[in-house]
């Protein structure tokens, strides 16, 4: 799950590092974080004549081809992304278990109230209702705090990887004569891309190039799926399939 709080960081990182006319669609890694910052992505008609300054690369967007990349997928499908997000999920397993226990307790009390409300006197009924309300308030607050913490930390991971990945995107685009790269992390109409085919998608080559550069080995598949309550979820599946592969995007 990276949240909307990552959008402005990602947009600024790409704009500063790539220096190309990259049109970045806002994308969410999970549920929207309550304190999400508004997107500050550069407008589509931003000038692109200035040389890119990305990791020492001095390149100009002189090509004419248009390509696409799913930035979100590229980050999470990389070996480093998979490794670090698995570690983050592992870190939050105790909190997930705690939230699940609290959720189960609330569910049990609500079932008790539903089953016994006609048999309880007013005092006992009011006491049980107040107990449920109190526990639900604590649970909601704890769930929200955990979600914000999780999204904040996954945002830091994503931003760190994107900062290192951006120069590779610049070099790949220049080497293959691309003049414009569009982000397909979200589907149209939130994305600027209505439709695209796999032939123009550079997500997988960028993932492979980043894996080679980082030297991080592919992590082993997790053997245990952590308990969830709907609050903490992994942002995307670690797969680098092109978005919109030959079929129109749907809302």
Q: What is the pLDDT of residue 172?
A: 94
Rg over alpha carbons for the chain, rounded to the nearest Å, is: 22
Q: What is the pLDDT of residue 16?
A: 41
User: Can you spell out the DSSP letters for 92-138?
Assistant: THHHHHHHHHHHHHHHHHHHHHHHHTTTS-HHHHHHHHHHHHHHHHH
Digit-coded pLDDT (tens) for 101-134: 999 999 999 999 999 888 889 999 999 999 999 9
Q: What is the pLDDT of residue 190?
A: 84
Least Cα distance to 24 among 169, 157, 151 occurs for: 169
**Least confident piece of the model among 12-21, 174-183, 204-213, 231-240:** 12-21
Query: Does the pLDDT value for residue 68 go beyond 70?
Result: yes
User: Can you spell out the DSSP letters for 173-212?
Assistant: HHHTTEEEEEE-SS-TTTSS-S-B-GGGB-HHHHHHHHHH
Digit-coded pLDDT (tens) for 72-86: 999 999 999 999 999
Q: Who has greater pLDDT, 223 or 150?
A: 150
Q: What is the pLDDT of residue 173?
A: 93
What percentage of the chain carries pLDDT values higher than 90? Answer: 53
Q: What is the pLDDT of residue 95?
A: 96
In which band, very low, low, confident or very high, does the pLDDT at 61 lie, cut at 50, 70 and 90?
Answer: low
**Least confident piece of the model among 5-9, 37-41, 116-120, 228-232:** 37-41
Q: Who has greater pLDDT, 24 or 202?
A: 202
In which band, very low, low, confident or very high, does the pLDDT at 37 lie, cut at 50, 70 and 90?
Answer: very low
Q: What is the pLDDT of residue 112?
A: 92
Query: How many residues in total does the chain contain?
Result: 251
Digit-coded pLDDT (tens) for 188-210: 888 888 888 888 999 999 999 99
- Judge residue 26's burial from the number of C-beta atoms within 10 Å of its C-beta, 0-12 exposed, 13-18 middle, 19 or more buried: buried
Q: Which residues have a Cβ under 8 Å from the Cβ of 49 and sit 6 or more positions away?
A: 60
Q: What is the pLDDT of residue 157?
A: 96
């Amino acid at each position: 799950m990276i949240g909307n709080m990552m959008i402005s960081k990602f947009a600024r990182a790409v704009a500063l590092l790539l220096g190309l006319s990259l049109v970045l669609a806002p994308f969410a890694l999970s549920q929207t974080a309550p304190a999400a910052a508004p997107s500050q992505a550069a407008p589509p008609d931003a000038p692109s004549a200035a040389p890119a300054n990305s990791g020492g690369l001095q390149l100009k967007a002189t090509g004419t081809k248009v390509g696409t990349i799913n930035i979100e997928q590229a980050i999470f499908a990389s070996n480093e992304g998979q490794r670090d997000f698995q570690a983050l999920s592992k870190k939050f397993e105790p909190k997930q278990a705690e939230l699940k226990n609290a959720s189960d307790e609330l569910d049990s009390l609500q079932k008790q109230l539903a089953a016994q409300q006609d048999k309880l006197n007013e005092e006992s009924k009011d006491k049980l209702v107040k107990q449920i309300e109190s526990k639900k308030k604590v649970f909601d607050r704890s769930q929200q705090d955990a979600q914000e913490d999780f999204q904040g930390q996954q945002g830091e991971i994503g931003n760190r990887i994107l900062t290192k990945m951006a120069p590779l995107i610049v070099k790949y685009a220049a080497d293959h004569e691309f003049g414009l790269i569009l982000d397909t992390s979200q589907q149209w109409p939130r994305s600027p891309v209505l439709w695209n085919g796999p032939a123009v998608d550079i997500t997988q080559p960028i993932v492979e190039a980043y894996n080679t550069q980082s030297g991080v080995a592919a992590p082993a598949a997790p053997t245990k799926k952590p308990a969830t309550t709907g609050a903490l979820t992994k942002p995307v599946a670690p797969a680098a399939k092109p978005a919109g592969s030959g079929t129109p995007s749907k809302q």
